[in-house]
Structure 1
Amino acid sequence: MARDLLLGEGLDAFSMRTVAASAGMRLGNLQYYFATRDDLLEAVIRAEIANDLTVVEGSLRAESAVRDVSELARQLVENWSSGAGGVYLSLASLAYHSDRFRALNREVYESFYAAIGSLVRRIDPDAALPDVRTRAQLMTSLLDGAALQLHAAVHTKAESDALIERAAALLVAIAADRQSSRSNPAVP
């Protein structure tokens, strides 16, 4: 219920009183579990990250990590561009002004880097640890950017599918450390 209100009404309209009313409970009862609005927001954000990490971890259990990167990209990007991204945008906004949410933002990204780094390790077991982290950061950046583009600028299913397909191919290339000669002038 709190997540739906955050996504539907936005961060500015998100209040303990509104959540309590929507849940049909007294404000005091809600405050028993979440003393402050920030406590409730943190719980909503943590629940969202747990769901997304479950998707990533599912890819780790699959037979073919390379094949499943495409499905992982599709699931995460579609989830983030269809509403759940609003939870992360709220976190990013809060992180600019609050040490608490800045720390949570770092924690969220570190969790993603670790999970996606494990996927990189399955695809390229010989990769050095610092390189695994860098690739995980690049892959996360690509997923974040693709989701933002789908939400803000891509308007047709064909465009959406093409963007996700290309992003998935790039994710596999990053994970496997394959560089495209088209984008690397150092490659003859």
Structure 2
Amino acid sequence: MSISLDALIDQLTTGATASEIYGVAAPSNRSRATVVKVLDEAVEVLATEGVSGLSFRALARRCDMRLSNLQYYFATQDALLTAVTRHALASRLEELRDRGALTLPDLRERFRAYLDFRMDRGAAPRAQAITTGLKDLAQRLDGPAEHFAATCRFHIRSLADMVMAFSPDTPPETVTHKAIMIAGLIDAVGPLCGKSYTPPEGLRAAILTQASEIAGV
């Protein structure tokens, strides 16, 4: 069953109870503000230092908090890294929603705007660093892996919906395969070869052309 963009953002930003934010218990406005502050700082660490910089002590110093206060909200390292993953993914999806790419009435414009958004994020150094960190966490920990996978499924489904709209008679399995192929092309803009690698000139235009051909635009 597919999930909407708003529903996925809500899923990432809330929790099992009404008092949770990003899966972290925070019953008051003050505690919610504290959790957001910590996660904002943690994402900044992810962008500048990578996963290795996300220790409790380093983050407590950065947030000017006592270690015990930080651990009041995040009892374990896994809990912290899962919440960071949820926050970073939700922020990226909120950017997509704010751009309005998936709500454009013209299908071709919607497809191009969506690809542009994904490739813009893939080419931005800060976004690249965050994505690298999130992929690292998703390979090692169940919590980050669950939320990263949900986000990937959303992107595949969004592409599949557009492919199906371009070619309504295409079998569902073929639609899914095409969506996966387009997603793979988009990922080629990202940090696959590290920060020292400069993508070849014309890569973006080539991806747009190839993705359009696959989708049947």
TM-score by length of 2: 0.66
- Cα distance change, pair 46–116 in 1 and its aligned pair in 2 (3 A): farther
Secondary structure at 2:51 match in 1: coil
Does the 8 Å CA contact 2:60/2:67 hold for their aligned counterparts?
yes
1:121 to 164, 174, 185: 164
1:17 to 49, 53, 57: 57
Percentage identity across paired residues of the two chains:
25
2:68 to 24, 28, 52: 28
RMSD: 2.8
Q: Provide the rounded CA distance (Å) in 2 between the counterparts of 1:136 and 1:68.
A: 15
What is the aligned length? 173
Q: Provide the rounded CA distance (Å) in 2 between the counterparts of 1:119 and 1:152.
A: 34
Does the 8 Å CA contact 2:163/2:175 hold for their aligned counterparts?
yes
Does the 8 Å CA contact 1:116/1:136 hold for their aligned counterparts?
yes
Partner in structure 2 of residue 72 of structure 1: 114
Does residue 143 of the first structure (1) align with residue 178 of the second (2)? Answer: no
After the TM superposition, which of the residue ranges 11-20 and 142-151 deviates more from structure 2? 142-151
Shift of 1:101: 3.9
1:58 to 76, 85, 100: 100
Does the 8 Å CA contact 2:89/2:148 hold for their aligned counterparts?
no
TM-score by length of 1: 0.75
After the TM superposition, which of the residue ranges 76-85 and 8-17 deviates more from structure 2? 76-85
- Structure 1 segments (4+ residues) deviating >4 Å: 149-152
Shift of 1:155: 6.6
Structure with the higher helix share, 1 or 2: 1
Shift of 1:61: 1.0
Q: Which runs of 5+ in 1 are unaligned?
A: 179-188
Does the 8 Å CA contact 2:122/2:189 hold for their aligned counterparts?
no
Q: Which runs of 5+ in 2 are unaligned?
A: 1-40
1:153 to 197, 201, 215: 197
Secondary structure at 2:52 match in 1: coil
Does the 8 Å CA contact 1:16/1:36 hold for their aligned counterparts?
no
